A and B are shown apart, each in its own frame.
Chain A
Amino acid sequence: ETGVTQSPTHLIKTRGQQVTLRCSSQSGHNTVSWYQQALGQGPQFIFQYYREEENGRGNFPPRFSGLQFPNYSSELNVNALELDDSALYLCASSLGAGGPYEQYFGPGTRLTVT
């Protein structure tokens, strides 16, 4: 059984650019949640996908969007990058939504916007 994996591990982008981050959920998990973690802060919920549908969204602007694929892997897309988007982006998978189901986190993607 493989755990949650994320790619890339690190990424440097310029303000105004677009970025796509990827997450492979743990085997058997159909729910993926994305979080943004600024330095020295706790993770902040961006959105959750359950069986390819968005199942909840945090207080993030529409330029943050996502997808979940039939194999339950997921993408996070951020358009028009801003300096404040620099953070660690975490995805977490779980057996279901409407839990509580234990969330298993990936190691994150460190995004730096210059």
Chain B
Amino acid sequence: GESVGLHLPTLSVQEGDNSIINCAYSNSASDYFIWYKQESGKGPQFIIDIRSNMDKRQGQRVTVLLNKTVKHLSLQIAATQPGDSAVYFCAENPSGGSYIPTFGRGTSLIVHP
């Protein structure tokens, strides 16, 4: 069936490096994508979103890239900090109807000081 998945379950980086977290989606009907950050003991926290009519969106230290041709989404974090250590989820929302995101499995980002 249709699903959202992540290529790498764990990503380790050094403080100050740039991080790239990847996500593959298979539902071609999805028109809205969201990245969430989940720290230990907390619920997911919205980071950034992007609609399918865009291929790039930037926030504070984060950039999301969307490649609809290969159904790929990535989250880039610039100058990664220890506070960025968390599990990151991408979620997709099929077009139409209620906003009910489908979450992928998640990538654990570990930032070493």
Contacts and interface: CB of A to CB of B under 8 A. Distances in A.
B32 A100 contact: yes
B103 A43 contact: yes
A66 interface: no
A8 B8 CA distance: 33
Contacts, number: 65
B27 to A, nearest CB: 14
B25 to A, nearest CB: 12
Interface of A: 4, 33, 35, 40-45, 48, 50, 55-56, 58, 90, 92, 94, 97-108
Contacts of A50: 98
B43 A90 contact: yes
Contact of B103 (A4, A44, A100, A107): A44
B6 to A, nearest CB: 9
Nearest to B106: A42
B98 A98 contact: yes
A35 B100 CA distance: 10
